[in-house]
Amino acid sequence: MESLDIQKIREEFPILSREVNGKPLVYFDNAATSQTPMRVVDAVLHNYTHTKANVHRGVHTLSQEATDLQEEARRRVRDYINAESIEEVIFTRGTTEGINLVAASFGERFREGDEIILTVMEHHANIVPWQLLQRHKGIKIRVVDINDRGELNLDQYRSLFNDRTVMASFAHVSNVLGTINPVKEMIAYAHAKGVPVLVDGAQGAPHLSIDVRDFDADFYVFSSHKMYGPAGIGVLYGKKKWLEEMPPYQGGGEMIEHVSFNGTTFASLPFKFEAGTPDFIDIAAFVKALDFIKEYDIRNIASHEEALMRYTTEKMLEIPGMRIFGTAPHKCGVISFLVNDIHPYDLGLLLDKTGVAVRTGHHCAQPLMERFGIPGTIRASFAVYNTFEECDIFINNLKRLITFF
Ligand code: PMP
């Protein structure tokens, strides 16, 4: 493991040198969205100023160039996640759209009484699309609980499978607890029961190396904006055998082979699932975010983030009345907490006055909040550019602010 030159990395992120409320910014809201290095911003600018043309439509040079950039991005994503082919890489608007696509399209085959296994730690993006399906298909949703450390109850997970189970869908990493779920083991169990699995990788892809073939995931979804890339795009990986069988999710241009009022035929993969003009500018720029991660190596990034998280956790536990939600030994990225009965919103607001950006609230995981019997938490989350000095600023400000209550 190599130690990273964090100051050099920070130079790529101009936003990190700005002040907020007269104080240097300490950006600890990376689980919501990470900041973007200049190489990505420059690529967006370059694509707008040099190669903007609609993709897959024109014979002219600009259109060819824009198409080449987008398709190069698809190859790069394939390599990044170790997918077998580019046909398995669908560009979406993000994790949310990826899950909606699978629920709507793969879900077509489900019948009344079929069961789907989710977990109590899911983000709303991995709950509500299945509930929408539940409404018009009459499927049942079964939910895996967690223990006090915030780890999934795997015995219960295994016990929920029966001959009506048609799908399991769970987070790689919890956005509230930071728990890294044993996805490979969970997928192997589901497959032994003949059940396909979707993994919500929104919080996994930014911190862990992703190998969809090693996991043997049927679907894996993630968002660019949480991994140093542009906002508004994401990826759905799906096994070709499923994607080929699945009906289109949306209709329109790009996704057809031939259209007639007597019947329309659809484009081959991956275009069958990419109706309309894609966000080709940002898709092409996403390559630069993948370059960034590759340059510093996801393993080094993860080990730096873990060191920050462990250091901060230890200091936080010295604070009387501190409650940390999510204490699994195998966790990454985030620290969710409450102090005494201080409302998270009040503490979050005061931390902001000191330049520290944290997230407060239910983090789009209301069932998990209900499980803990709390309305919300404060969440500090880390990225590669964060420093130990920032952790100290956060801790010191936190300690000082708590005395006001
Ligand atoms: N799942 C998880 C675990 C998340 O953390 C998030 C983002 N907060 C999402 C899904 C949704 O991602 P997006 O808003 O980028 O679609």
Is the Cβ atom of 171 under 6 angstroms away from ligand 1? Answer: yes
Is the Cβ atom of 223 under 6 angstroms away from ligand 1? Answer: yes
Q: What does pTM read for this prediction?
A: 0.98
Q: Which of 357, 313, 355, 311 is nearest to 337 (CA)?
A: 313
Mean pLDDT of the chain: 97
Q: Which of 339, 327, 331 is nearest to 378 (CA)?
A: 339
Which of the four pLDDT bands, split at 50, 70 and 90, describes residue 3? confident
Query: What pLDDT shows up at residue 56?
Result: 87
Which of the four pLDDT bands, split at 50, 70 and 90, describes residue 2? confident
CA of 344 to the centre of ligand 1 (A): 21
The bridge status of strand 219-223 relative to strand 234-238 is antiparallel
Return the number of other C-beta atoms located less than 10 Å from residue 342's C-beta: 16
Phi-psi region of 83 (alpha: psi -120 to 50; beta: other; left: phi over 0): beta
Q: Mind listing the pLDDT tens digit for each residue in 203-234?
A: 999 999 999 999 999 999 999 999 999 999 99
Which of the four pLDDT bands, split at 50, 70 and 90, describes residue 346? very high
Q: What percent of the chain has pLDDT over 90?
A: 97
The bridge status of strand 115-119 relative to strand 377-381 is unpaired
Equal CATH topology for 6-30+297-402 and 41-294: no
CATH of domain 6-30+297-402: 3.90.1150.10
Which of the four pLDDT bands, split at 50, 70 and 90, describes residue 395? very high
Amino acid (one-letter) located at 129:
P
Query: 234-254 burial by CB neighbour count: b if 16+ within 10 A, else e?
Result: bbbbbbeebbeebebbeeeeb
Which of the four pLDDT bands, split at 50, 70 and 90, describes residue 57? confident
Atom of ligand 1 nearest to the CA of 223: 15
Which of the four pLDDT bands, split at 50, 70 and 90, describes residue 138? very high
Atom of ligand 1 nearest to the CA of 98: 16
Alpha-carbon distance of 135 to 115, in angstroms, equals 13
Query: What pLDDT shows up at residue 151?
Result: 98
Residue 35 has pLDDT above 90, yes or no: yes
Residue 58 has pLDDT above 90, yes or no: no
Alpha-carbon distance of 344 to 136, in angstroms, equals 37
Report residue 222: phi and psi, to 5°.
-155, 170
What's the average model confidence in pLDDT over 257-273?
Answer: 95
CA of 264 to the centre of ligand 1 (A): 34
Active-site residue list: 364
Is the Cβ atom of 34 under 6 angstroms away from ligand 1? Answer: no
Is the Cβ atom of 200 under 6 angstroms away from ligand 1? Answer: yes
Q: Mind listing the pLDDT tens digit for each residue in 95-117?
A: 999 999 999 999 999 999 999 99
CA angle 237, 77, 251 (to 5 degrees): 50
Which of the four pLDDT bands, split at 50, 70 and 90, describes residue 183? very high
Q: Name the CATH code of domain 41-294 (choices 3.40.50.10700, 3.30.450.20, 3.40.640.10, 3.40.50.300).
A: 3.40.640.10
CA of 126 to the centre of ligand 1 (A): 9
* Residue boundaries of the structural domains of the chain: 6-30+297-402, 41-294
What's the average model confidence in pLDDT over 345-363?
Answer: 97
CA of 95 to the centre of ligand 1 (A): 6
What's the average model confidence in pLDDT over 134-153?
Answer: 97
Is the Cβ atom of 199 under 6 angstroms away from ligand 1? Answer: no
Q: How far is CA 169 from CA 149, 201, 225, in A?
A: 21, 11, 22
